[in-house]
Structure 1
Amino acid sequence: MNNFFIAVRNRAQSVMAIDGFPIILLLNVFLGIANSFVLPFSSIFGIDEVGMTNMEFGIFMMISTLCGVGFSTYIGKLSDRVSDRKLILILCAIAGAIGYIGYAYSRNYYVLLAISSIFLGISASTFSQIFAYGREVLVKSKVPAKEIPLYMNILRVLFALSWTVGPAIAAYVLLYFGFKGMFLVAASCYIIVVGITLLSLKKASKKEMAKPKPKPTEATIPLRQVIFQPFIFVNLIAFTLISTATTISSLNMAQFVTKVLNGEEKHVGIIFSIPPVFEVPFMLGFGILALRVKSDNLIRLGSLLAFAYFATTFFATDIWHIFPIQILSAAYIAITSGIAITYFQDFIPNMPGTAMTLYSNTGKIGSMLGFLLFGVLSDTFGYRNVYLWCAIFAFLAMILLFALVRAKRVQFGSSSSINA
C-alpha cells in the first residue's frame, strides 16, 4: 500500500513539473464546472423556465448541436494551421461567457436559439482546444510518447471531478438565485478561463512562430480527406453509435426506474451518483494500463463493456440490480471519454485540434441523435426495450471496432498516406 501511495505522489509531482501542464489542468477544472452547472438543468430551463414544448426543446437542441458541430469543425481545422492556438482558446472562452450572460437575461425562444447557435456554438470548441493545447505541451516536454495517454487521462479526470461537485453546487445556486444566478456563475467560469489563459499560458516563442507553415500533407489537407479515410471514418461511426446509446440511456433511466421498476426519485439520484465515484479511479487505472496495452485494444474493451452495460440493464427486474450495473457504466465511459482522446489524437498527431474536434463531434452528433430517438423508441417499444436498442447500437459499434484489428492506420505525414 505504501508503494502505491509513493507511486501516486511521484506521478503527481511529475505532472506538476511539466511546464505549462498545471495551467491546462486548472483551465479544465473551470471548464468542467461551467459545463456541470448548465447541462444537467438544460431541459428544466428550456421547458419549465422558458416555456418550450418538448418538440420545441428538441428542435432547439438539434439546431444548437448542428451549429456547434459546424463551428467546432472549422475552428479545430483552423487552430492546426496557426502557430499559436492561445488566441483561439481565448476567443472561444469569451464566446462562452457572452452566451451564458445572454442566457441569464433572456427568455425569448428565438433570442436564446441565436445565442446558443452562435456564441455557445463557438464556445463548444473550448473543450477541444484545451485538450489540443495539453497534447502540444506534452509533446514539447520530455514526457515519453508512451506515457502521453496517462497524462491526457489525468487531464480528463479533472474534468470528471468537476462533475462530481458541479451539479450539487448548481442545484444550490439555482435554489437561491434562480437560473440567472446559475448562468452568471457559468459565465464567470469562462471569464476565469480567459483570465488564466491571458496571464499564465505562454505564447508560442518567436522560434516556434518562425517555423515554416505545415506541408500540404499535414495540417492543410482538406478535412474531408481526413474524415473519409476508412480507419478514421469507421471509428467516427462507432463512437457516434456509443454516444447515441449513452444519451438515450441517460434520458430513459429515470422513466425506467420509476415506471417499470416502480422505484422512486431518490433511487434515480443514487443511480446517477454511482458512476462518477468509479469513473475517476477507472480513468487513472486505464491510463496506467495504457502504458502497457495498445489504446486500440482498450477502446475495443470499452465497446464491449458498453454492450454489457446496456444488455444487463435490459434484463434488470429490481431496483437493486441497477446499482452494481452502474459500475459497468463507469468503466466504459472511463475508456470512451478518457483513453479515446489520445486514441483519436494518435490518428493525426500533427493536427491535435482537428483530432479533438472529430472526437468531440461524435459526442455532439450522438447526443443529437439520442434526443431525437429517445421519444420515438420509448413511445414505440416501451422504456425497457429502449435498453435493447441501446445494446444493439453498442453491439454495432463493437463489431466495427473489432473489424479494425488488422486495419492500417493512416499517417498524415507523407504523401503516400494521402494517396493511398
Structure 2
Amino acid sequence: MTTETVQRRGKVLWPVAAWFWALQFAVLNPLLAVLLVTLYGATPAEVGWVLGLYNVGGFATSLVIPTLADRARNYLRPLVFCAVGGVALVAVLAVTTSLPVVVLALVILGGPPGVGSTLLFAQLRHEGALPAQVIRTRAIVSFAWVIGPPLATLVTGAAGNPAALALLAGIGLVNVTTVLLLLRRRGTTPADDAAPRPRLLAQLHGWNRWGVVGAFTLLQATNIATVTIATLFVSQDLGAPIVWAGIVLGAAALLEIPALLLIGRLHEQRPVRLLLAGGWACGVAYYGLVALAHEPWQLLALQPLNAWFFATVAGLGLTVFQDVFPSPGLATGLFTNTRRAGAVLAGLLIAVLGASPDPYRAVYVAAGVIVLLVFAGAAAVANRGRAAAR
C-alpha cells in the first residue's frame, strides 16, 4: 500500500470516526429517559436521579481517562476501551430489566464512551493537526447532532425500543472498527509533541488558565440556558405555536455547521483574538435583540448571529484550550467539562430569574450581559498583556 493511499484513507477515516462517535450520543441522549421509563419502569424522580448519576460519572471519566492518556502519550488505545464500553453498555441495557443494574451500567460503562470524542480531538492535536482541521472535525460532530435526535425518534417510533438498542449497538461496533483502523494507520509523533510537558498541577496553575476555563464555562451557560427556555419563550412570550421553537432551534443547529467551516478557514488568515471578539460581539447582539423580539420570525432571522456565536465558542474554544494547556487530553477534557459545568450554571440562572415579571426574556438579557462581561474581561487582560510587553 502506497503512502498516498494511506493518507487518503486517513482523510476519510477521521471524519467517519468523528461522525459515529458523536452520533452515538446524539442517538442515546434523546432516548435515555424514554428507555428508563418504558423498559425499566423508572418514575420521573428516578429518571432525574439516574441521569444525574450518569452525568457525574461522565464528568469524572472525561477528566481521568484523558489525563491518563496524556501520561502515556497514547490516545487511541484508551479509545479502544471506550469503544468496547459503549458496546457493553448497550448489551447490558438489552439483557436486563433491573433499574439498579442499569444505573450501575450507566455510571461504570456509560462514562468511557462519552470520552470518545475528547480522545479523538486529543489525538488530532497529538498528531500535529492544525487548528483549522480541529474546527472542521468539530463541524462533523455538530452535523451528527443535527441528524441523531430525529434518527433516534424515527427508529424508535417505527420499530420500538429494541430497534433503538440495535441502532446503538451498530454504531458502537462501527466505533470499535474505526478505532482499530486508526491504530493501524497511526503515524509518528511530531517532534514538538515529543518534548517534555509540564506536570498536571503545573498546567492547572495560573489565573490566566482558570480565567479561560471560567470564561468559556460562562459562555456555554448562556447557550444552554437560552436553548432550554426557547420553547417556553416562543409559546408564552411570543404567543406563537410551539412548532416555531423547533424551526428556530433546527435553523441554529444547521447554520452552526457552515459557520464552523468558515471559522476554520478564517483561522488560517485572521488572529484568534479577532475571531473571538467577532463571535462574542455576535452573542451580545443576538441575546440583546431577542430580548426585544415580539414575533417568531424575528427570532428566526436572528439565528445566523446565534450560530456564529456558538460556533466561535465550540470551535475556536477547543483550539484555545489546546493552546493554553500543553497536554491534549487535559485540554480537551477540560473544554468538554465547560459544557457540563455550564449546564449547572444555566439551571441556576433560570431558577434565579424565574421569579422576575418576565422570566424568559430576562434570561436572554442576562445571557447578553454575561457575554459582554466576558468580552470586557478578555479585552482588559489583553490590554494589560500588551502594556506589560512594552
TM-score class, shorter-chain normalisation, is 0.7 to 0.9
The question of whether the paired residues in 2 share the 8 Å contact of 1:20 and 1:202 is answered with no
Structure 2 unpaired stretches of 5+ = none
Matching of residue 404 in structure 1 with residue 368 in structure 2: no
- How do 1:217-366 and structure 2 match up within 5 A? 218=197, 221-222=199-200, 224-349=201-326, 351-366=327-342
Deviation at 1:238, TM superposition (A): 0.8
The question of whether the paired residues in 1 share the 8 Å contact of 2:283 and 2:305 is answered with yes
**Aligned residue in 1 for 2:149:** 167
**Aligned residue in 2 for 1:193:** 175
Which whole-Å CA distance do the structure 2 matches of 1:237 and 1:212 have between them? 27
Question: Percent of counterpart pairs with the same letter?
Answer: 22
Q: Residue 184 of structure 2 is aligned with which of 198, 202, 209?
A: 202
Pick which of 367-376 and 273-282 moved more.
Answer: 367-376
Q: Residue deviations 1:128-173, cap 9 Å, x none?
A: 101111222344xxxxxxxx12111111111122223222222210
The question of whether the paired residues in 1 share the 8 Å contact of 2:139 and 2:260 is answered with yes
The question of whether the paired residues in 1 share the 8 Å contact of 2:76 and 2:182 is answered with no
- Counting matched residue pairs gives 379
Change (3 A) 1:278 1:203: closer
Matching of residue 94 in structure 1 with residue 109 in structure 2: no
Change (3 A) 1:395 1:91: same
Change (3 A) 1:214 1:291: closer
Which whole-Å CA distance do the structure 2 matches of 1:257 and 1:329 have between them? 16
Change (3 A) 1:44 1:374: farther
Q: Residue deviations 1:211-269, cap 9 Å, x none?
A: 99864xx15x13x4323322210010011111112111111011111122111122122
- How do 1:33-52 and structure 2 match up within 5 A? 33-45=23-35, 50-52=41-43
Name the TM-score, length of structure 1 as normaliser: 0.80
Change (3 A) 1:242 1:109: farther
Change (3 A) 1:25 1:310: same
Matching of residue 152 in structure 1 with residue 134 in structure 2: yes
Deviation at 1:194, TM superposition (A): 0.9
**Aligned residue in 2 for 1:4:** none
Deviation at 1:180, TM superposition (A): 3.8
Change (3 A) 1:335 1:179: farther
The question of whether the paired residues in 2 share the 8 Å contact of 1:254 and 1:265 is answered with yes
Matching of residue 20 in structure 1 with residue 28 in structure 2: no
Q: Residue deviations 1:74-117, cap 9 Å, x none?
A: 11111111143221011112222323444455565544433332
Change (3 A) 1:104 1:306: farther
Any idea what SS the aligned residue of 2:109 has? helix
Matching of residue 117 in structure 1 with residue 132 in structure 2: no
Any idea what SS the aligned residue of 2:142 has? helix
Q: Which amino acid aligns with 1:364?
A: R
**Aligned residue in 1 for 2:343:** 367
* Aligned-residue CA RMSD (Å): 3.0
**Aligned residue in 2 for 1:67:** 57
**Aligned residue in 2 for 1:31:** 21
Which whole-Å CA distance do the structure 1 matches of 2:316 and 2:306 have between them? 15
Deviation at 1:298, TM superposition (A): 1.8
Which whole-Å CA distance do the structure 2 matches of 1:186 and 1:396 have between them? 41
Which whole-Å CA distance do the structure 2 matches of 1:44 and 1:402 have between them? 45
Q: Residue deviations 1:24-49, cap 9 Å, x none?
A: 22100111221221234445555787
